[in-house]
Structure 1
Amino acid sequence: MIRKELLSKCKEALTTRQSELIKQVQDHFGMKYEFAKETSGELSNYDNHPADTGTELFEREKDLALNEHAEKELEEINEALHAIEEGTYGICKICGADIPNERLVAVPTTDTCVEHAKNETFNRGRPIEEEVFSPNINPDEVTDEEQVGYDAEDAWQEVSRYGTSETPSDFYGDKEHYNDMFPNSDENVGSVEDLENFLAADIHGKFIGVAPNHDKHEE
Structure 2
Amino acid sequence: MDQEQLEYYRDKLLEEKNSLLHQLKLNESFGLDESMNASIGELSGYDNHPGDLATEMYEREKDIALEENEVHLLDLVNEALERIEDGTYGYCLKCKKEIPIERLNAVPYAKYCIEHQPNDSISIQRPIEEQFLMPPFGRTSFDDKDNETEFDGEDAWQAVARFGTSNPPDYFRDGDDYDHLYIESREPRGYVEQVEGFIITDADGNPIDVTRNEAYDAYMENIEGEEGISEIHIDDLAELEDEINDKN
When normalised by structure 2's length, the TM-score is 0.42
When normalised by structure 1's length, the TM-score is 0.47
